[in-house]
Amino acid sequence: MEETSGSKKLQYGDIVELTIESTGSEGKSIARLDGLVVFVEGAVAGDVVKAKIGKSKKKFAEAKVVEVIKPSPQRIEPHCKYFGTCGGCKWQHVEYNAQLAFKHQQVVDALERIGGFKGLNILPIVGSEDVFYYRNKLEFSFSEKPWLTEKDMELHKEENVPNLALGFHVPQRWDKVLDIDECFLQSELSTGILNAVRKFALDNKIPAFEPETETGYFRNLVIREGKNSGDVMVNIVSFEDSPEVMEKLSAELQKQFPEITTIINNVTKRKSQVAVGEYEKVYYGTGIIHDKLGRYNFQISANSFFQTNTKQAEKLYSIAKEFAELKPTDVVYDLYCGTGSIGIYISDSVQQVVGIELVESSIQNAKKNADLNGIENCEFIAGDLKDRLTKDVAWKEQFAHPNVIIVDPPRSGMHPKAVEELGKMQVPTIVYVSCNPATLARDLQLLSPFGYVIEKVQPVDMFPHTYHIECVAKVVLK
């Protein structure tokens, strides 16, 4: 290894011993070696490990654990046999209370380092009641190229391995799929359906879609469950429209799993890996499922958005409603309203809700959900938020000036022009629901010059065993 700045420069493939000091953004464990920061995959704060260097730069290096010399007290045995190969649940080896502590610190760090805020009232994190089987939607991928672990290759070296996999893409390899026969994210029923669909494809010699040759049939299996209603949707995404295949598969699934309430087929010729069809056909049931948040019913189609962790979504919305301190005379703007879930959830406490969302199909779903619940004080408008707030202001004449604004943007946060217009509106209370502490910190910092201060922040864990964390921030005019 060559010398640099008085210390040895790490090279690709070097094996080094590291003491893990902390957990940083995006769940990366942090160690230091001769003053160089090393981000370590597969480690836990408190571990002493041997790690293999993968990337080495002047200011940092990246490594992966090859041996745990001394385990951290926070390290536990992963629940899933695919841990470490599958791209999901990357923190299964971390005790759950430690996960929550890391996530809480992630929020603190983002607001202090990116936003420049000090001494904030960041409340104790709200953990998930269920740490397994908490998701209401799971998307599996088909491939003719199974990803084989070293153990798989040893077990199958004298056997013919089926050239069809159904499971999850391994990290950074969208051409390979890890074939799985169990998953602890959704339900035991979901696992049963997964295995039945794979068996059907193999028994009937129906191939997976291959993007390179644009041949094959199966692309995705998407399962949605109404955690409060018991409804179950099976959505087969395919490259071709084959009623013969779908009718046979539908009949077999209904026979094996009477819990299924609807089966549909989304068909797309696109090369894109997104599990959305250009059109869909219903083979069993109504093509939709329903679920509840609080006392409200929501209609969920194959491609509509619905919060993935139902129980935690109820907690998240309850906190947002509490932070807003709503009154019967209030007019609330629900920005980035999606399918209207937050607006509908608070509708019984206010005079009017005005929701704005870019995606037209989401607005149509929001209107249907309002009608489903007999709600008449919610208006949903399609359009780009930055344009609606800054250019196209005619719609504002239809509604009273808001007393409260609730924003729930995507991970990228709000457009700077939208934040600026939000500040100019001088609404007394803004409740910001965020799935990314970094963009939350950035946007709240942009609001500060308009006289807004952060009253409190509530982290909420929606996704156990991942580094993702949601927050609700209450922001008020001075």
> Both 345 and 440 in a single domain?
yes
Q: Looking at the predicted structure, is the pLDDT value of residue 384 above 90? A: no
pLDDT at 4: 35
What span, in angstroms and rounded, lies between the C-alpha atoms of 310 and 316? 10
pLDDT at 232: 98
Residue 376 within a domain: yes
Q: What is the pLDDT of residues 81-124, one digit of tens each?
A: 999 888 789 899 999 999 999 999 999 999 999 999 999 999 99
Residue 196 within a domain: yes
Residue 91 within a domain: no
The CATH number of the domain holding residue 440 is: 3.40.50.150
Q: What is the pLDDT of residues 10-31, one digit of tens each?
A: 888 989 999 999 987 777 899 9
CA 423 to chain centre: 29
Instruction: Read off the pLDDT band of 276 (50, 70, 90).
Output: confident
Amino acid present at 33:
L
Instruction: Read off the pLDDT band of 163 (50, 70, 90).
Output: confident
pLDDT at 391: 62
- 284: tokens are 């069993």
**The whole model's pTM is what?**
0.90
> Both 330 and 464 in a single domain?
yes
Q: Between residues 52 and 2, which one has the greater pLDDT? A: 52
> Both 323 and 272 in a single domain?
no
8 Å CB contact between 395 and 388: yes
Query: Which is nearest to 415 in space by CA: 376, 388, 437?
Result: 388
- 329: tokens are 């005379």
CA 55 to chain centre: 28
> Both 276 and 347 in a single domain?
no
pLDDT at 6: 38
Q: Looking at the predicted structure, is the pLDDT value of residue 194 above 50? A: yes
- Averaged pLDDT score across all residues of the chain: 91
8 Å CB contact between 438 and 110: yes
Q: Between residues 174 and 266, which one has the greater pLDDT? A: 266
What span, in angstroms and rounded, lies between the C-alpha atoms of 251 and 197? 12
435 a catalytic residue: yes
- 144: tokens are 């003719």
- Of the given ranges (41-45, 159-163, 224-228, 396-400), which has the lowest mean pLDDT? 159-163
Instruction: Read off the pLDDT band of 3 (50, 70, 90).
Output: very low
Residue 84 within a domain: no
Q: What is the pLDDT of residues 280-294, one digit of tens each?
A: 999 999 999 999 999
Domain interval for residue 69: 3-75
Residue 442 within a domain: yes
Q: What values do phi and psi take at 84, rounded to 5?
A: 95, -20
Q: Looking at the predicted structure, is the pLDDT value of residue 459 above 50? A: yes
The residues near 387 (Cβ < 8 Å, ≥ 6 apart) are none
> Both 326 and 449 in a single domain?
yes
Q: What is the 3-state secondary structure (H, E, C) of the chain?
A: CCEECCEECCCCCCEEEEECCEECHHHCEEEEECCEEEEEECCCCCCEEEEEEEEECCCEEEEEEEEEEECCCCECCCCCCCCCCCCCCCCCCECHHHHHHHHHHHHHHHHHHCCCCCCCCECCCECCCCCCCCCCEEEEEEECCECCCHHHHHHHCCCCCCCCEEEEEECCEEEEEEECCCCCCCCHHHHHHHHHHHHHHHHCCCCECECCCCECCEEEEEEEECCCCCCEEEEEEECCCCHHHHHHHHHHHHHHCCCCCEEEEEECCCCCCCCCCCEEEEEECCCCEEEEECCEEEEECCCCCCCCCHHHHHHHHHHHHHHHCCCCCCEEEEECCCCCHHHHHHHHHCCEEEEEECCHHHHHHHHHHHHHCCCCCEEEEECCHHHHHHCCCHHHHHCCCCCEEEECCCCCCCCHHHHHHHHHHCCCEEEEEECCHHHHHHHHHHHHHHCEEEEEEEEECCCCCCCCCEEEEEEEEC
pLDDT at 393: 63
Tokens 């989304």, residue? Answer: 266
- 218: tokens are 């199966």
Tell me which of 86, 89, 435, 471 is the catalytic residue: 435
pLDDT at 386: 74
Give, in order, the Cα–Cα distances in Å from 114 to each of 44, 322, 426, 445.
25, 27, 24, 8
Percent pLDDT > 70 in the chain is 93
**Domain stops at, among 75, 92, 111:** 75
The CATH number of the domain holding residue 36 is: 2.40.50.140
pLDDT at 9: 75
8 Å CB contact between 221 and 192: no
Q: Which residues of 100-112 are buried (b: 16+ CB within 10 A; e: fewer)?
A: bbbbbbbbbbbbe
What span, in angstroms and rounded, lies between the C-alpha atoms of 55 and 21? 19
Residue 93 within a domain: no
8 Å CB contact between 9 and 34: no
> Both 289 and 350 in a single domain?
no
Q: What number is the average pLDDT over the span 332-336? A: 96
**Domain stops at, among 251, 268, 293:** 293
What span, in angstroms and rounded, lies between the C-alpha atoms of 377 and 365? 16
Q: Looking at the predicted structure, is the pLDDT value of residue 50 above 70? A: yes
188-203 vs 243-256: helix crossing angle, rounded to 10: 140
The CATH number of the domain holding residue 146 is: 2.40.50.1070
> Both 183 and 235 in a single domain?
yes
**Domain stops at, among 259, 293, 327:** 293
Residue 119 within a domain: yes
437-447 vs 416-425: helix crossing angle, rounded to 10: 50
> Both 215 and 358 in a single domain?
no
Q: Looking at the predicted structure, is the pLDDT value of residue 155 above 60? A: no
Query: Which is nearest to 298 in space by CA: 358, 340, 359, 347?
Result: 340
Q: 310: how many CB neighbours lie within 10 A of its CB?
A: 22
Q: What is the pLDDT of residues 424-437, one digit of tens each?
A: 999 999 999 999 99
Residue 213 within a domain: yes
> Both 280 and 377 in a single domain?
no
- 400: tokens are 């009273």
> Both 458 and 332 in a single domain?
yes
Query: Which is nearest to 110 in space by CA: 409, 447, 415, 436?
Result: 436
C-alpha angle 295/300/304, rounded to 5°?
125
Domain count, the chain: 3
Q: What is the pLDDT of residues 144-154, one digit of tens each?
A: 888 876 556 55
> Both 282 and 160 in a single domain?
yes
> Both 53 and 110 in a single domain?
no
